[in-house]
């Protein structure tokens, strides 16, 4: 599969890159995508939620009324969960939500996400980009040239470029990552995926291992 390479103004450069069918043209596996996205979101959870149970609530342990003869239910402490200010029954406790996922499943999920982008015509290949200084207006000009100012975009760089990253950081719909850090969630969350020309071969190398 061949795709045209465009410049920073969205114009055809006359060059083309060949995308591997084993990565960009596979039959997408929705279950692998689900598992990978689920793991990614689970790893983002802090898991620091906590509520006090009956034995942790501060208060008197004095029996508030006699056991029998009141006509009501027995009550031994104001810290019981059925009283206001009492402890919570089976409340949340700190926990780790992360779970293990096989590398091959994660790899299949990323391939599937890339295949969906190709099917939706949401993938662009652009010549490599570098900025001399971190300026947001430079990145806005780049998006304007690609007609992507109102789209959620993911730009994949072939190598780390601090100026490009800092230039996009203030834009809520723009995301810049290196080819080593791209994941399934980011691929699916973006309306348009922009691969730098040099990142295509590196991405294919990573996903073909």
* Nearest alpha-carbon partner for 93 in 56, 55, 48: 48
Q: With helix as H, strand as E and coil as C, how does 144-190 read?
A: HHCCCCCCCEEEEECCCCHHHHHHHCCCCCEEEEECCCCCHHHHHHC
**Region 55-66: what's the mean pLDDT?**
89
* pLDDT tens digits for range 133-150: 999 999 999 999 999 999
Per-residue confidence band for 27, with pLDDT thresholds at 50, 70 and 90: very high
Domains of the chain, each with CATH number or no CATH = 2-46+101-207 (3.40.1370.10), 52-91 (no CATH)
Give pLDDT, residue 112. Answer: 96
**Region 21-42: what's the mean pLDDT?**
96
Give dist(CA 19, CA 190) in Å, integer. 20
* Nearest alpha-carbon partner for 188 in 44, 38, 53: 38
Give dist(CA 7, CA 69) in Å, integer. 87
Per-residue confidence band for 38, with pLDDT thresholds at 50, 70 and 90: very high
Mean pLDDT score of the chain: 93
Q: Please check the confidence at residue 209 and state whether its pLDDT lies above 80.
A: no
Q: Please check the confidence at residue 59 and state whether its pLDDT lies above 90.
A: no
The pTM (predicted TM-score) of the whole model is 0.84
Q: Please check the confidence at residue 170 and state whether its pLDDT lies above 80.
A: yes
Q: Please check the confidence at residue 10 and state whether its pLDDT lies above 90.
A: no
Q: Please check the confidence at residue 184 and state whether its pLDDT lies above 80.
A: yes
Give pLDDT, residue 192. Answer: 95
Q: Please check the confidence at residue 126 and state whether its pLDDT lies above 90.
A: yes
The answer to whether the beta carbons of residues 92 and 48 sit under 8 Å apart is no
């Amino acid at each position: 599969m061949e795709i045209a390479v465009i410049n920073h103004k969205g114009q055809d450069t006359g060059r083309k890159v060949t995308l591997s069918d084993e990565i960009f043209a596979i039959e997408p596996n929705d279950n692998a995508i689900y598992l990978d996205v689920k793991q990614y979101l689970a790893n983002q959870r802090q898991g620091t939620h906590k509520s006090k149970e009956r034995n942790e609530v501060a208060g008197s342990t004095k029996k508030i009324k006699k056991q029998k003869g009141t006509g009501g239910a027995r009550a031994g402490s104001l810290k019981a969960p059925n009283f206001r200010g009492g402890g919570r029954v089976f409340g949340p406790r700190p926990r780790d939500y992360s779970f293990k996922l096989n590398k091959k499943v994660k790899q299949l999920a990323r391939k599937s996400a890339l295949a969906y982008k190709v099917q939706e015509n949401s993938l662009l290949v652009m010549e490599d980009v570098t900025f001399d200084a971190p300026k947001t207006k430079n990145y806005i000009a780049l998006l304007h040239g690609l007609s992507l100012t109102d789209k959620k975009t993911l730009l994949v760089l072939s190598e780390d470029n601090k100026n490009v990253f800092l230039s996009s950081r203030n834009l809520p719909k723009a995301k810049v990552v290196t080819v080593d850090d791209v994941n399934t969630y980011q691929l699916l969350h973006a309306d348009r995926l922009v691969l730098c020309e040099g990142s295509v071969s590196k991405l294919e190398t990573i996903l073909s291992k």
